[in-house]
Amino acid sequence: MARKSYLFTSESVAEGHPDKVCDRISDAVVDAYLAVEPHAHVACETLTTTNRIVIAGEVRGPETITRDHIVDIARACVRDIGYEQDGFHWKTAEVDVYLHAQSVDIARGVDAAGNKDEGAGDQGIMFGFACRETGVLMPAPIYYSHQILKSMAEARHSGAQPDLGPDAKSQVTLLYENGKPVRAASVVVSTQHSPDVSIDDVREIVRPYVLDVLPEGWMCPEDEFYVNPTGRFVIGGPDGDAGLTGRKIIVDTYGGAAPHGGGAFSGKDPTKVDRSAAYACRYLAKNVVAADLADKCTIQISYAIGVSKPLSLYVDTHGTGRVDEQKLESVLSELVDLSPRGIREHLKLDRPIYARTAAYGHFGREPEPDGGFSWERVDLVDALRSAFG
């Protein structure tokens, strides 16, 4: 029997977190290639540490994108995030680029040729999830964790909060009763700050952003509100801790409220099903819930490298479904071609829309006019309702 009353926690990290700096740079490289060649292949990894950025991986795309171009992209990302500190500065950091041509063996398996459709870029499993806990059909703990940091970052960029630094983390624990979130049991926010403010000052700077994000009456007890619990946090970002692309896969998805296949998103072009198929799973799950066919939905897809057809599609509505799950699997497969090419074409993923995904989650965002976050659309609702009468 499912538990009805419990605590559940999710965390988020800000755009200035060392790992997120890396995700931003890697996705900006993907965007640079797709802006010139929509069918470019990119697998880009970034490492950051004190005043050093290392970019490595493999690409197949236009030679007009040179090493100097990649260096400029990295510096622009760091500048936009806001790092101008002695140990990590957009202008003075050393940038090393080790991008090379894509393996011919991988290219042979992935490319379409003759009667062979384009194959998956790797084997693996991908998951998507949606639920009714928030208006954007995301689990509440991760959604509020993201929103706290996003609102703080907006205030920092606007100049409204000049004492906040780029590096920050949040963690929200919600109390669930009868399976639904009812209030925050604890909130943790750690944020980089200027040396001119005290720990008490930082606490009061942070407080209104938490209050504004949480629903009215949901604020945790005062003794469960933790701001910079270790104390001073002046040295932050890659100067304080090394960063790597792809280390925040739970932050990027559902905050632990749903399964994860293990593959990271950032730095990968949409031929990599780690990214595109995870987006497709979210798209399908969100439309199932939006169509009122279930209150909660998990979808899994699996692939083999070089094979275009998915090996499996699994739907779980967690006992909340109002339709047959086996039939739902069949209907979803008919509505969307889940081959790598089919996903890319349906969601129009061959566009430079990825740098914006690198912080505050890939899911639960608003679809944008230029095609950003296209996987958040709910344009299958009518077809799904029609299929089930």
One-letter amino acid for residue 376 of the chain: E
224 is catalytic: no
Q: Give catalytic status of residue 247 as yes or no.
A: yes
Residue 286 annotated in active site: no
Q: How far apart are CA 111 and CA 180, in angstroms?
A: 46
Tell me, rounded to whole angstroms, the distance of Cα 222 from its chain centroid.
31
SS (H, E, C) 133-179: CCCCCCCHHHHHHHHHHHHHHHHHHHCCCCCEEEEEEEEEEEEEECC
Residues 41, 113: Cα–Cα separation, whole Å: 16
Q: Per the residue annotation, which of 41, 193, 268, 286 is the catalytic one?
A: 268
Does 4 qualify as catalytic in the annotation? no
SS3 breakdown of the chain: % helix, strand, coil, rounded to 5? 35, 25, 40
Query: d(Cα 33, Cα 66) in Å, to the nearest integer?
Result: 11
Measured CA to CA, the distance from residue 184 to residue 62 in angstroms comes to 50
| Amino acid making up residue 8 | F
Choosing from 11, 19, 122, 337, the catalytic residue is 19
SS3 193: strand
CA–CA gap between residue 171 and residue 185 (Å, rounded):
11
Spatial separation of the C-alpha atoms in residues 248 and 228, rounded to whole Å: 20
Active site residue 150: no
Let me know: does 174 contact 256? Beta carbons within 8 Å: no
Is 133 annotated to bind ligand? no
Whether residue 84 is annotated as binding a ligand: the answer is no
How many angstroms separate the CA atoms of 126 and 362, rounded? Answer: 14
Catalytic residue, candidates 37, 39, 56, 58 = 58
Distance (Å, rounded) from C-alpha 158 to C-alpha 237? 20
Per annotation, catalytic residue among 248, 286, 346, 362 = 248
Residue 376 half-sphere exposure, CB side, CA atoms within 13 Å? 18
The response to whether 268 counts as a known ligand-binding position is yes
27 has catalytic annotation: no
**Catalytic site includes residue 19:** yes
Q: Indicate which residue of 41, 60, 193, 272 is catalytic.
A: 272
Considering the candidates 11, 23, 45, 295, report the single residue annotated as catalytic. Answer: 45
Asked whether residue 155 is marked as a ligand-binding residue, the answer is no
Q: Please indicate whether residue 268 is annotated as part of the active site.
A: yes
Q: Which amino acid is at 302?
A: S
Q: Reply yes or no on whether 348 is catalytic.
A: no
Which residue among 269, 274, 316, 350 is the active-site one?
274
248 is in an annotated binding site: yes
Paired tokens of 349: 């993923």
- Which of 24, 75, 150, 247 is an active site residue? 247
Q: Does 19 count as an annotated binding residue?
A: yes
The residue annotated as part of the active site, out of 56, 155, 242, 304, is 242
What's the CA gap between 102 and 154, in Å, rounded? Answer: 38
Q: Is 233 part of any known ligand binding site?
A: yes
Q: Could you confirm whether 248 is annotated as catalytic?
A: yes
Please confirm, yes or no, whether 327 is among the known catalytic residues.
Answer: no
Exactly one of 169, 286, 344, 356 is catalytic; which is it? 169
- Please tell me whether 264 is known to bind a ligand: yes
Q: Is 8 annotated as a binding residue?
A: no
Mark whether 89 is an active-site residue.
no
Choose, from 111, 117, 163, 241, the residue flagged as catalytic. Answer: 241
102 among the known binding-site residues?
A: yes
Please compute Rg for the chain using Cα positions. 21
Residue of 20, 41, 146, 282 with catalytic role: 20
Q: Look up residue 229 and give its two tokens.
A: 């619990």
Annotated binding residues for Mg(2+): 19
Q: Which residues are annotated as a binding site for ATP?
A: 17, 167-169, 232-233, 241, 247-248, 264, 268
* Residues recognised as catalytic: 17, 19-20, 45, 58, 169, 233, 241-242, 247-248, 268, 272, 274
Residues in the annotated binding site for K(+): 45
Q: Which residues are annotated as a binding site?
A: 17, 19, 45, 58, 102, 167-169, 232-233, 241, 247-248, 264, 268, 272
Please state the residue numbers annotated as binding site for L-methionine.
58, 102, 241, 272
